[in-house]
Amino acid sequence: MLEALRPYWHPLARTNAIGMAPERHVLLGEALVTWRPAPDAAPVVMKDLCIHRGAPLSGGAVEQETIRCPYHGWRYDSDGACVHIPSLPEGASTPSKARAVRYHARDAYGFLWVSLSEEPSAFPDFLSTVWDDPAYRSVYVARYDWNAAAARVAENAMDFSHFNFVHQGYTELADGPVIKPHEVSRDARGLSYAYDDGHLLREYVLEFPFLVHDRKQVTNPAGGVTWSDGDAARTGDITLLSFLACPVAETTTQIHVLVTRNHALDRDDSDFTSGFDVVMEQDRVIVEAQRPEQVPEDLKEELHLRLPDAASITYRRMLSELGLPAELLP
Ligand code: FES
Ligand SMILES: [Fe+2]
């Protein structure tokens, strides 16, 4: 499964947390090193491995806009080419095979996104609709590190039928727990569905495989209370919760949470973010304990309810198609 996830763009870290000095990260089970050739240069992402004798480049240093391996001092430029081997005489050329593996990286929405493939998938663009819109304000909440598979994490973020049990007093379906019919659509980006609980219109967008956006629009201010609305909800208020899950390894996931809102922009951001530690902890306890740890590939392996689990059934179909050649896809 990890192999098939390499083309997708994953949020490796917050861009402003990436310094000049080499730093080790793990994505899809592979060790990576980030560094910057200069303080304000774009971050570089490479495999954390020197081709000479396999030392981790993250143990080295940045020198003359290159990264220097800690073992024998070979230096690689930001494209990955080895530009200096100290044990060779002055003027000797470096072998053309002496290269570090450089990966595609992009800075967007405050994150450094990485694809581990020569041919990356389409870039996740859902947040671009609000990111530069002055009517909205986006706030980074926190990163949550869970010992769980990213697909279990994403499925949990999409699943609203657990709200009235796990998140009582925080985010319950106003007319729950019975789940009404709702349409789940697949599209090029992933999947989407909307659900009106009599207080909020909840519009979910999954950017496949692990980015979940939960856009809540107040339709009836008197219909209920959700912690992330603030305490003075008005019709049309939109609060967008983005759960950006980064698959570190098979059962290790980092979840970056971003809250975007078009209301009460003058209020303290913490009014809209302070409940997350509680809500995420309520979810973590459940999701880390789910077995099997991976979402089963075969739909028959767990029991699905047609209406309450509609989004999850579609998501599992998409997961089961991961890595299949295009001619075998529906
Ligand atoms: S292992 Fe990197 S220079 Fe020798
Ligand atoms: Fe939850």
Task: Specify the ligand 1 atom closest to the Cα of 72.
Answer: 3
Length of the chain: 330
Whether the CB-CB separation of 115 and 101 falls below 8 Å is answered with no
Confidence of residue 232 (pLDDT cuts 50, 70, 90): confident
Confidence of residue 271 (pLDDT cuts 50, 70, 90): confident
- pLDDT tens for residues 168-186? 988 889 998 999 999 999 9
72 lines ligand 1 (CB under 6 A): yes
AA identity, residue 210: F
Percent of the chain's residues with pLDDT above 90: 88
pLDDT value of residue 114: 98
Distance (Å, whole) CA 320 – CA 78: 37
Confidence of residue 221 (pLDDT cuts 50, 70, 90): confident
Q: Best of 67, 71, 83, 85 to mutate for ligand 1, by most ligand atoms within 8 A of CB? A: 71
Confidence of residue 233 (pLDDT cuts 50, 70, 90): confident
Whether pLDDT at 214 is above 60: yes
In this structure, which residue's CA is closest to atom 1 in ligand 1? 53
Name the token pair of 68: 């220097």
Distance (Å, whole) CA 66 – CA 234: 53
User: CATH number for the 3-115 domain, one of 2.102.10.10, 3.30.70.1400, 1.10.8.640, 3.40.50.12240?
Assistant: 2.102.10.10
52 lines ligand 1 (CB under 6 A): yes
Going from the Cα of 45 to the center of ligand 2, the distance in angstroms, rounded, reads 32
E-strand ranges in 187-280 read 190-196, 200-207, 211-218, 238-249, 252-261
Report the range of poorest mean pLDDT among 125-139, 218-232, 242-256, 270-284.
Answer: 218-232
Burial of 93-131, coded b for 16+ CB within 10 Å and e otherwise, reads ebeeebbbebbbbbebbbbbbbbbeeebeeebebbeebe
Confidence of residue 329 (pLDDT cuts 50, 70, 90): low
94 lines ligand 1 (CB under 6 A): no
Name the token pair of 142: 């926190």
Going from the Cα of 7 to the center of ligand 1, the distance in angstroms, rounded, reads 28
Whether pLDDT at 230 is above 60: no
Distance (Å, whole) CA 12 – CA 223: 39
88 lines ligand 1 (CB under 6 A): no
Whether pLDDT at 225 is above 80: no
- Count of CB atoms situated within 10 Å of the CB of 172: 21
Q: Best of 74, 82, 83, 84 to mutate for ligand 1, by most ligand atoms within 8 A of CB? A: 74
Counting runs of H as helices and runs of E as strands, what totals does the chain give?
6, 17
Superfamily of domain 128-328: Naphthalene 1,2-dioxygenase Alpha Subunit; Chain A, domain 1 (3.90.380.10)
- pLDDT tens for residues 68-107? 999 999 999 999 999 999 999 999 999 999 999 999 999 9
Task: Print the SS3 string covering 114-129.
Answer: EECCCCCCCCCCCCHH
84 lines ligand 1 (CB under 6 A): no
CATH code 2.102.10.10 region(s) in the chain: 3-115
Burial class (CB in 10 A: 0-12, 13-18, 19+), 187: exposed
Going from the Cα of 255 to the center of ligand 2, the distance in angstroms, rounded, reads 13
Confidence of residue 227 (pLDDT cuts 50, 70, 90): low
Whether the CB-CB separation of 292 and 302 falls below 8 Å is answered with no
Report the range of poorest mean pLDDT among 13-17, 196-200, 321-325.
Answer: 321-325
pLDDT value of residue 224: 76
In this structure, which residue's CA is closest to atom 4 in ligand 1? 72
Average pLDDT over residues 278-300: 95
CATH code 3.90.380.10 region(s) in the chain: 128-328
Burial of 50-88, coded b for 16+ CB within 10 Å and e otherwise, reads bbeeebbbbebbbeeebbbbeeeebbbbbebebebbeee
Whether the CB-CB separation of 24 and 48 falls below 8 Å is answered with yes
